[in-house]
Amino acid sequence: MSRRWLQRYIPSQERLQRTRSLRFMHHMLGDPAMWVLSRRSVANACMVGLFAAMLPIPCQMLLAAFGAYCLRANLPLSVSLVWLTNPLTMPVVFYFNYRVGAWVMNYPARQVPDHITTLWIAEQMAHIVLPLAVGSVIVGVILAIASNVLVRLIWRFQIYRSWRRRARRRQRRQR
């Protein structure tokens, strides 16, 4: 994972500090450790952001920011990864989490009717909440661990590849 590629998409520290709605987080935004792009900070940011994205709770971004602060992860990356579950993908992701939770708890999974209404959702909510919560935590933990390991492996592979390129260039110069 290239540092330059990540820096293109992550907002700058100064830009976020000027945002009025984030003034309550000023002490967190001013911490230089929250903006470092290292293997550890990026892997932890992916772990925190993807775990928070899988939880069906409001204020996922605040949870990701708090997790990034506690784990010294890259703050903008962890908060932006929460948007994996945006309004378009949320029904699919949470339905998958519900199915995982129902499977783990050995609950009979509710079938979705052809026409979903808010009345149907309100009636089914008592049956859906527990499997959805369990499935969301399970999928979140699995996705968090897998993303952390994957980012660290990709980062190491990139370093290994750059060392090999550098060694080849040295060999060509010596000839």
Q: CB pairs under 8 A, 24+ apart, for 155-163? A: 155/1, 155/39, 155/42, 155/43, 156/39, 158/1, 158/2
- Vertex 31: Cα angle to 25 and 33 (nearest 5): 130
Q: What is the pLDDT of residue 114?
A: 80
Q: What is the pLDDT of residue 27?
A: 61
Q: What is the pLDDT of residue 17?
A: 61
Q: Cα separation of 139 and 100, whole Å? A: 8
Token reading at 43: 């892997």
**Cα torsion 58, 61, 66, 71: sign:** positive
Mind listing the pLDDT tens digit for each residue in 28-59? Answer: 666 667 777 888 999 999 999 999 999 999 88
Residue 107 is part of which domain span?
3-174
Mind listing the pLDDT tens digit for each residue in 12-22? Answer: 666 666 666 55
Q: What is the pLDDT of residue 100?
A: 94
Q: Cα separation of 139 and 76, whole Å? A: 23
Q: What is the pLDDT of residue 139?
A: 96
Mind listing the pLDDT tens digit for each residue in 95-150? Answer: 899 999 999 999 887 777 788 788 877 888 888 899 999 999 999 999 999 999 99
- How many domains in the chain? 1
Q: What is the pLDDT of residue 140?
A: 96
- pTM score, whole prediction: 0.77
Q: What is the pLDDT of residue 2?
A: 61
